[in-house]
Amino acid sequence: MVIELLKFKVASNLRENYIQKDAQIWTTALAQYPGFLGKEVWINPNDLTEVILIIRWATREQWKAIPQKDLQAIEDKFVQAVGESYPIVESAEFQVRKSPH
């Protein structure tokens, strides 16, 4: 399994709408692609403007196989729904390894 981590800064008064639209648009769209295993939204209690998305993929190949034009179309729909673009503040990729015991 591969974890995609995306961090955004969203004004705390806009955060709930952002999360709701993300679920409606991004999560629904990504769920149509092979390899998508699920998604979590993490809120930093010490910084209410920080929204972290944790997206689980079966393989890196399946994740990276999503066409760029599809991702841009989803992003365009999302930006239209929330009213502005929120750039990624940080992104990271992690491999999940099972513990040996």
Q: Which residues, in sequence order, are bridge partners of residue 5? A: 54, 92
How far CA 57 is from CA of 17, 25, 35, 41, in Å, comes to 25, 18, 5, 15
Distance CA 38, CA 31 (A): 8
Segments making up each domain of the chain, as ranges: 1-49
Query: What is the pLDDT at residue 101?
Result: 74
Q: What is the pLDDT along the chain (101 residues), one digit of tens a residue?
A: 999 999 999 999 999 999 999 999 999 999 999 999 999 999 999 999 999 999 999 999 999 999 999 999 999 999 999 999 998 999 999 999 888 87
pTM score, whole prediction: 0.91
Give the 3-state secondary structure of residue 32: coil
Task: Return the number of other C-beta atoms located less than 10 Å from residue 58's C-beta.
Answer: 13
